[in-house]
Amino acid sequence: EGPDADGEGEEDVKEALSRPPPINSDYLPLPWKGRIGYACLNTYLRNASPPVFTSRTCRIASILEHRHPLKDPSQPEHPTKNRPDKEQPADVDRGQRYVEDLGLANARDLPKMLRWNDKYGIKFMRLSSEMFPFASHEEHGYKLAPFAAKVLAEVGRIVAELGHRVTTHPGQFTQLGSPRKSVIDDSLRDLEYHDELLSLLKLPPQQDRDAVTILHLGGAFGDKPAAIERFKENYAKLSESVKNRLVLENDDVVWSVHEVLPLCQELNIPFVLDFHHHNILFDSTQIREGTKDIVDLFPAIIATWTKKGKTPKMHYSEPCPDAITARSRRKHSPRVMTLPPCPNNMDLMIEAKDKEQAVFELMRTFKLPGFDRINDIVPHVRHDENRPFKPKPKKAAKKGKKKVDDLGALGEQIEDAEEADKTPIIVPEEEVGMGGPDNRVYWPPGMEDWLRPPRRIVKKKEEGAVTPAKKAQKKAASAADAASLNAETDGVEQTKMLMSAKKPAKKPAPKRAAASTKKKLPKAAPTPSATDDERDSSPLSDLGDDSDNAPLPASKRAVPPLPTRQRSGRVSKVTYKEDEPDEMSM
């Protein structure tokens, strides 16, 4: 309901669905004898460590900032610790060297990319227009010679040695048919920059002729005939070197094949056929959508190349599977599923998001030369890099514990020792990033994440859950409490020792008599005195040994205890002792 994310409404979708179905050719250019290439970026090398790519860039603000010296010129630049000091005086040449160094870093990565391509059967590549940032800028632009001449000559030597083809493709703002003078001036400078870049490669004659610069006509600005006339006028202003490199391509917005091809034939400019653009924008009065009818124009297209002694090239890509309208179909799919019906000796540029992987997909599908060199990568694992290695530290034996109690623990210690002493295999510099001994460089569609190390997944802790940090804090707190308690105990003991040292020694207590050791019996309640007969007849009168047979005075005689319930354990005897009769009773 309503327009979609691209601003296309229901009417646009109905119109797209009502168009006639495309008529495609069933011809396949096999056996393949040409060269298949990709544009600018290699996904495998871009995700390598260190990364290899040729599009490092910056902002104009960074150029202005780097006109100031670093805070510590003796140390390398750091994003936070060693930045340009804006309080120091600025130097234009210093800022220029900064942006030139970026370009040199890009150019120095090209040999690695070229040799990687050659190893896996890719001999065609488009160079990045951003290799030297702001080189064609009105204010901050610069010439590549002499500072980049030596580096680019080395790149050209490798291109010639391997027999590869390199091309360039300026961006959409480079237009020779614009009515604005500022756009024309910028376009002229940009074409001169691309020509200098390719010329400094110093390629052999045929490879130099094939090193072309692809350009679109640009906008129509409401009047196509007037735009074509402006293009012719500005094309005449170009230097011969730029003219010899310039080729034109049909687009998917304004200019169709039937409009660009006649202009190329008139100005002697090679024409690049883009199959994907043609299927979106074509003259329905002369041709049908698809790859079948366009084959009839191949002789005229190829003739624009052979007239100038250049090897023809074409572009191929496919829309995303879910695309319906013309706007959504302009987006390139990550990979392509088939080959166009071009001659089998054509140089074919595959314009797809997955870059070299899209070429690998075609090589595997149609068994093109080099397909047997390519193997799948292991997810998140690379065997062609020198990773930082730090051996595991050996665990020190804790005091007070036995070192090894059994063979199992001994085996673990031996394994730990072997792991600590193990050193990784050093990969030679020329083999870093080249796929390893098994050539593992292919990743399946949608699995680009396999090129990078696995992401670290941080699990969310439940509320109140005990984490390792909390465990460590609790352990540290308990250790601190134990230490403080021990300190307090030691302090009390020391205090007691000091106090006992100050007090004089106690005299030994005198020995008491044996009788005094006996426990005093509690006083008994007074009872009436017994008669002599009663005492003589007492059943307990004869208790005791012979030494106790002597009669005791009545006042000291023990009264026999009353019978009581015995308790477990030691029970003391209870006696009743008569009080001494007082004088009144006497």
Looking up tokens 């694992």, which residue turns up? 381
Per-residue confidence at 250, pLDDT binned at 50, 70, 90?
very high
Whether the CB-CB separation of 419 and 392 falls below 8 Å is answered with yes
pLDDT in tens, 265-276: 999 999 999 999
Range among 127-136, 322-331, 464-473 rated most confident: 127-136
Residue 149: Cβ within 10 Å count: 14
State phi, psi for 257 to the nearest 5 degrees. Answer: -60, -40
Looking at residue 95, what is its pLDDT? 95
Distance between CA 167 and CA 127 in Å, rounded? Answer: 6
Looking at residue 344, what is its pLDDT? 96
Calculate mean pLDDT across residues 224-236: 97
Partners of 78 in beta bridges: 82
Q: Tell whether the torsion through CA atoms of 268, 273, 277 and 278 is positive or negative.
A: positive
Q: Tell whether the torsion through CA atoms of 548, 551, 553 and 556 is positive or negative.
A: positive
Looking at residue 199, what is its pLDDT? 98
Between 565 and 311, name the one with better pLDDT.
311
Calculate mean pLDDT across residues 208-230: 96
Whether the CB-CB separation of 361 and 376 falls below 8 Å is answered with no
Per mean pLDDT, which range of 304-313, 452-461, 471-480, 572-581 is the poorest?
A: 572-581
Residues above pLDDT 70, as percent of the chain: 74
Residue 577 has pLDDT above 60, yes or no: no
Looking at this protein, which amino acid is placed at residue 145?
A: A
Q: Which residues of 71-89 are buried (b: 16+ CB within 10 A; e: fewer)?
A: beeeeeeeeeeeebeeeee
Looking at residue 82, what is its pLDDT? 94
Residue 192 has pLDDT above 90, yes or no: yes
Looking at this protein, which amino acid is placed at residue 341?
A: P
In a domain, 204, yes or no: yes
Distance between CA 310 and CA 214 in Å, rounded? Answer: 13
Q: How confident is the prediction for the chain on average, in pLDDT?
A: 84
Per mean pLDDT, which range of 336-340, 460-464, 572-576 is the poorest?
A: 572-576
Residues above pLDDT 90, as percent of the chain: 65
Looking at this protein, which amino acid is placed at residue 464?
A: G
Looking at residue 477, what is its pLDDT? 82
In a domain, 168, yes or no: yes
Looking at residue 480, what is its pLDDT? 78
Looking at residue 584, what is its pLDDT? 45
Between 555 and 29, name the one with better pLDDT.
29
pLDDT in tens, 530-546: 444 444 444 444 444 44
Looking at residue 291, what is its pLDDT? 95
Looking at residue 469, what is its pLDDT? 74
Looking at residue 553, what is its pLDDT? 53
**CATH number for the domain harbouring residue 187:** 3.20.20.150
In a domain, 99, yes or no: no
Calculate mean pLDDT across residues 20-36: 95
In a domain, 149, yes or no: yes
Kindly report the pTM of this predicted structure.
0.75
Instruction: Name the token pair of 286.
Output: 């002369």
Per mean pLDDT, which range of 35-44, 71-80, 409-418 is the poorest?
A: 409-418
Alpha-carbon dihedral angle through residues 216, 222, 225, 230, given to the nearest 10 degrees: -60
The C-alpha R_g of the chain, in whole angstroms, comes to 51
Looking at residue 326, what is its pLDDT? 86
SS3 36: strand
In a domain, 300, yes or no: yes
Please report which helix (H) or strand (E) contains residue 552, including its range. none
What does 253-313 look like in DSSP terms, one character per residue? Answer: SS--HHHHHHHHHHHT--EEEEHHHHHHS--TTT--SSSSGGGGGHHHHHHHHHTTT---E
Per mean pLDDT, which range of 30-39, 52-61, 232-241, 381-390 is the poorest?
A: 381-390
SS3 182: helix
Partners of 576 in beta bridges: 559
In a domain, 323, yes or no: yes
Partners of 36 in beta bridges: 348
In a domain, 322, yes or no: yes
- Whether the link from the prior residue into 50 is cis, omega within 30° of 0, is yes
Per-residue confidence at 482, pLDDT binned at 50, 70, 90?
confident
Looking at residue 10, what is its pLDDT? 84
Q: How many domains does the chain have?
A: 1
Looking at residue 411, what is its pLDDT? 63
In a domain, 438, yes or no: no
pLDDT in tens, 71-130: 999 999 998 999 999 999 999 999 999 999 999 999 999 999 999 999 999 999 999 999
State phi, psi for 117 to the nearest 5 degrees. Answer: -60, -45
Q: How far is CA 218 from CA 215, 224, 239, 570, in A?
A: 9, 10, 20, 120
Per-residue confidence at 387, pLDDT binned at 50, 70, 90?
confident
Partners of 274 in beta bridges: 315
SS3 491: helix
Nearest to 144 by CA among 155, 154, 133: 133
Distance between CA 488 and CA 467 in Å, rounded? Answer: 32
Looking at residue 97, what is its pLDDT? 96
Residue 188 has pLDDT above 60, yes or no: yes
What is the residue range of 260's domain?
35-54+109-376
Partners of 125 in beta bridges: 38, 166
Between 463 and 315, name the one with better pLDDT.
315
